[in-house]
Amino acid sequence: MTTPTSRRQFFKNTGAVSAAAMMGGTGLSACGGSGGVAALTADEQLALTATQALAAYKAGSLTATAYVTNLINRAKSLSDLNGMISIDEAGALAAAKQVDADRAAGKSLGVLAGLPIVVKDNINTKGMKTTGGTSSLRNFQPKTNAPSVQKLIDAGAIVLGKSNLHEWAFGITTTNFTLGIDPITKEATRPGKNPYDTSRIPGGSSGGTAIAVAARFAPAGLGTDTGGSTRVPASFCGIAGFRPSVGDGAGQGRRYLDTATDALPISTTRDTVGPMGRTVADIALLDAVITGSAVPTAKALKGLKMGIPAAFWADLEDSVKTVAEAAKKKLADAGVVFVEADLTGIMALNDTVSFPIALHEPVAAIPAYLSANSAPVTTVAQVQAGLASPDVQGAFGAIAGDVFAAAYDAAMVPTTGGRAQLQKLYKDYFAAAGVECVLFPTTLLAAPKIDAAKGSSEVRYTVGGVAKTGDTFGTCIRNTDPCTNAGIPSLSIPAGLTAGGLPVGMEIDGPLGSDSNLLAIGMGIEAVWGSIKAPAI
């Protein structure tokens, strides 16, 4: 039997190596491992990150069947968190048994062979329903997988099921009324719950994936991001979330191949699939498989220049500011050089672009998606009629009325429109400041309380000892939204816990197309900050 000391050494060793080492360098190939090592306990399995799980397979201390079974049992036992909309138990176990059989037979295996993941329930999956968390698509089953999902499956990943989300991904709380409404109070009875404090939101719209990863019933998964939907829940739930480059609008710089007909759309300009995991190394691994690129290695931080834009550090909740400043000091101690240069005027400029894009593009994008996928409904009006969440009904009212059409046309004018100006502001900033990324807290505040009555309304927090209130949606996405309209890559990394035990994430944004470098920087930061304590569930 393996001694406790050797078990600790296994976790230490696998935690220290990069995702590239897990893949045998920069190539995307892997073969079955050897046996002779005692099996990990159920609790040890739950603690595994994606890269550690793959290492355990190679070491012979873990089988896919045992791991998948354990994770599914964990998900069932924590169903009150409302992290999953559906679990494909039969399909996942069949896939796991096949991986184990192929490994035992010495067959060549994909680099992710046996890795369980969850997929947000707005991303197309063949053989599994894609409901968008809304009643009009409750029985909808696409004919094909979205490209990102297919790439992961081709590499051997096993989809455990579809994760919960804010209805149609149109919100930031994952308080989804479609899952249940009290007939008397009309309140949501099954809101997504934060594993660190179940009275609080997990963030959204990819809240289910964040719940699954944070609560240890999946090591990693996929979300989508329009204005912050991978990074806000990552920050609130103490995991990492990535938004890849979506391009400059002229076909340059798009990182992933998923289109507006591969996932339920909001904005053809801004939407993207994005990986989520407990470590940046795990995200880098999934990103490499999806894009066919080399896995980056952690970047040395000594001498690395990071911008500190004051606009993104203003009005922070006191508890978040404390964690953010401590995290910043650790990076300074590691040799990071901070450049105190602001992105002047960015918030006002972003305001001229954000809603016009997000609430006009669905007018055409939603019917196009429904038609391309032979969905049971075909129009925005039919989708709107089936909505259960009050805040999403409000958003769809603006879409149905197309109230932002004129503002959209102005925002999208080449060179002089708001989006072009925003892209130029970022491009000029990175060049003039000579920085590889900017650093700031992902969200202004830690996870707010669940609003079961409205889904999203008002948040209260303290800045400099002074009580403040703000719109939940606008407050939560203030820092995550601007980069989405510019199309540049963004990564949220867990930085620590508040005195009250709530996670705080820090975000780094980089120039268009600098995704691999941004992930390498993130891996370097992760090594300095270390991991945060798992939720006590």
Domains in the chain (CATH in brackets) are 82-529 (3.90.1300.10)
Let me know if 514 is a catalytic residue.
no
Give the residue among 320, 278, 327, 243 at the shortest CA–CA distance from 503: 320
DSSP reduced 3-state for 222? strand
H or E element, residue 120: strand 116-120
Distance CA 143, CA 141 (A): 7
Inter-CA distances, 320 with 37, 187, 328, Å: 43, 30, 12
pLDDT exceeds 80 at position 351: yes
**Each residue of 270-318: pLDDT tens digit?**
999 999 999 999 999 999 999 999 999 999 999 999 999 999 999 999 9
Structure tokens at 396: 């769809």
Q: Is residue 108 packed enough to be buried (19+ CB in 10 Å), middle (13-18) or exposed (0-12)? A: exposed
pLDDT exceeds 60 at position 24: no
Structure tokens at 351: 């305001």
In whole numbers, what is the pLDDT of the chain averaged over residues?
Answer: 94
Give the residue among 307, 313, 387 at the shortest CA–CA distance from 347: 313
Give the residue among 234, 238, 437 at the shortest CA–CA distance from 331: 437
Report the percent of the chain where pLDDT is more than 70: 93
Let me know if 457 is a catalytic residue.
no
Mean pLDDT, to the nearest integer, of 195-213? 98
18, 148, 229, 492: the catalytic one is 229
pLDDT exceeds 70 at position 3: no
5 confidence band (pLDDT: 50, 70, 90): very low
Let me know if 163 is a catalytic residue.
no
Report the percent of the chain where pLDDT is more than 90: 91
**Each residue of 152-191: pLDDT tens digit?**
999 999 999 999 999 999 999 999 999 999 999 999 999 9
**Each residue of 59-92: pLDDT tens digit?**
999 999 999 999 999 999 999 999 999 999 999 9
Please tell me which residue, 13 or 25, carries the higher pLDDT value: 13
248 confidence band (pLDDT: 50, 70, 90): confident
At 2 the pLDDT is: 38
Mean pLDDT, to the nearest integer, of 9-22? 57
Mean pLDDT, to the nearest integer, of 27-47? 72
Evaluate the CA torsion angle 228, 229, 231, 233 in order and state its sign.
positive
Q: Is residue 347 packed enough to be buried (19+ CB in 10 Å), middle (13-18) or exposed (0-12)? A: middle
**Each residue of 419-472: pLDDT tens digit?**
999 999 999 999 999 999 999 999 999 999 999 999 998 999 999 999 999 999
At 416 the pLDDT is: 97
Distance CA 195, CA 81 (A): 7
pLDDT exceeds 70 at position 26: no
pLDDT exceeds 80 at position 35: no
At 31 the pLDDT is: 45
18, 61, 120, 136: the catalytic one is 120
3-state secondary structure 176-208: CHHHCECCCCCCECCCCCECCECCECCCCCCHH
Mean pLDDT, to the nearest integer, of 47-53? 98
At 245 the pLDDT is: 98
251 confidence band (pLDDT: 50, 70, 90): confident
At 250 the pLDDT is: 75
136, 148, 163, 205: the catalytic one is 205
- Residue 162, strand partner residues: 86, 119
